[in-house]
A and B are shown apart, each in its own frame.
Chain A
Amino acid sequence: MTASELWRHSARALTGRVRSGSTGVNDAVESGWEGPAASWEAEVHAIVHADRAAREKACAGSRSGALAGVPVVVKDNLCTTEYPTTCASRILGRWTSPYDATVVARLREAGAIVTGKGNMDEFAMGSSTEFSAFGPTRNPYDLTRVPGGSSGGPAAAVAYGLAPLGLGSDTGGSVRQPAAFCGVFGLKPTYGRLSRYGLVAFGSSLDQVGVFARHAGDAALAYEILAGPDPFDATTRPGPAPDVSGWDRGVRGLRFGWPANLWKEGVEREVIAGLEDAASWLERAGAVRVPFDFLPGEYAVATYYLVATAEASSNLARFDGVRYGFRHADTPEVAELYRRTRSEGFGPEVQRRILLGTYALSAGYYDAYYLKAQRARTRIRQEYEDAFRRCDFMLLPVSPTLPFRLGEKTDDPLAMYLSDIFTIGANLAGIPGLTCPVGLAASGLPRAVQLLGPYDSEPVLLRAGRAIEVGGEEARLDREHEQEFAWPAKR
């Protein structure tokens, strides 16, 4: 690999070169901009805020640490002091945070450089990154298709090579689903395992910061640095985070659940083929398949769109034109200031969800909707607890389809919500999940599977993710197409 191809490295390899002195921090960070971003970014549009001078300043201070010299793309709803934090919403204008999110601060302490802020669906509400005030991000594997969402920007940027790592947030699948659509790993940790201080709140009982990486080992490395209690976030789990250093230990003897009733109908053939490949690689590595039936995902979607919108309607009340960013120009009195600012500042999907959540919480409907959803949530959690008495983790689809086309679902909110049918349960139950790429379909689009495990099972999920990664590498070798990562090709 030549110096101009530094961007191809994993985070582990790149930081190794920087720490040994063979590569300068600036070269490590700028390689992604000079190489892949120069050919991809104008079309993909993964990044919404970036600044070369800010990067150079950050590089000057980075030499040591477990992520020394590693560029990271950070979703635009995580607070950063050197770039605006706008949640891809008009209502935040160019608001810039006076402090860093804890996860961003931990990246910096480890020597990483925030290389840019990633595009997203406005306030993380969406599954395609089409609901961004900055315009959509496109999938680098097919520019007519969506990268998934809501963290589509970081996912696409990690896939095309701007950075080996990205940070997103996952409230109903917003890390795992774009990871699947862009063919990278996407880790949603156990609820409360990563600090949310400085993450703009959407659904507080569901939100969790997550990691994008092209390699299972890089996801483990980022998790090691980010996980653990934070005095500024009372919802972080107490005590030390589980040890993921055994991510390359293999899966011999592990039992994986196989809830095949979930993909009996409504799931694309290529998605099922990916599941079968991943299962066979796990079995070849010594894991044992445990078939059982699981609660259909419709119930989770129904529950989620009541709980998440109710919480969002409350969380987004703070955006009123007084404290942050945008204010409508003509505001004769204060109630009108709120109405005009919010109606103009929020996009249609955010307004839709605020209305739905306000409705579910309003007098006369609370018992019928919100309370029922909370009961269903308990039921869903118990369903997972039962499943994990029979297996160490479950294998299931991330999304029922491969990446869909831009515009395909933007006018049909329910169709968009149903694309989250396999990811939402993990947020309702608070359990961790990992998206693993499983090579490309015949159409050239990425395939992926999802692993779900009980609380604090990140070490097991990463071991299984690594086993699937190795299985995929061996399958590619069998076909004599050896390469380190299935990079997108210009078409």
Chain B
Amino acid sequence: MAIRRDEVERIAELSRLRLSPEQLDTMAGQLSSVLEFVAALNRLDLSASEPGTFASSEGALRSDVVNGRRLGAEIATREAPESEDGFFLVPPIVENLNP
């Protein structure tokens, strides 16, 4: 199954990626060939197979108790591109119309 250029563009927006026109063309071609290959799964009879998520079903549960080990805000923001007083800094999200 081929994937169209405008679909790649829509998926890129969902993925928060910006592709140039040339990249959109290249990706559409490459993703189409991968999707064609993936269609091989249609040849398998999967009617008896339930969807499996994790490789193993033996998950471990723990009691919901705080263990006391935590990163402080200063340490957690230390390696951020921009931070101040233990907060991450980002550009404005909401414009102030009445300053």
User: Which A residues form the contact surface with B (CB < 8 A)?
Assistant: 93, 95-96, 98-99, 190-192, 205-206, 229, 231, 234-238, 298-299, 301-303, 305-306, 313, 317, 320-327, 331-340, 342-343, 346, 351-352, 354-356, 358-359, 362, 369, 371-379, 381-382, 413-414, 417, 427-430, 455
Contacts and interface: CB of A to CB of B under 8 A. Distances in A.
Contacts of A334: 90-93
Given A327-B82, A373-B41, A355 B52 contact: no
Contacts of B77: 323
Interface in B75-89: 75-82, 88
5 contacts: A205-B53, A237-B56, A298-B40, A351-B15, A377-B51
A306 B62 CA distance: 31
B60 A238 contact: yes
Contacts of A362: 11, 14
A378 B90 contact: no
B17 A354 contact: yes
Interface residues of B, number: 52
B44 A427 contact: no
A373 B93 CA distance: 38
Contact of B30 (A235, A335, A352, A381): A352
Interface in B9-39: 11-12, 14-19, 27, 30-31, 33-34, 37-39
A377 B38 contact: no
A205 B51 CA distance: 13
Contacts of B44: 299, 376, 379
A312 B34 CA distance: 16
A346 B19 CA distance: 12
B94 to A, nearest CB: 10
A343 B19 contact: yes
A339 B16 contact: yes
Contacts of B53: 205, 374
Nearest to A95: B79
Interface in B41-77: 41-42, 44, 46, 49-56, 58-62, 67, 71, 75-77
A302 B34 CA distance: 8
Contacts of A338: 16
Contacts of A301: 37
Contacts of A414: 30, 33-34, 37
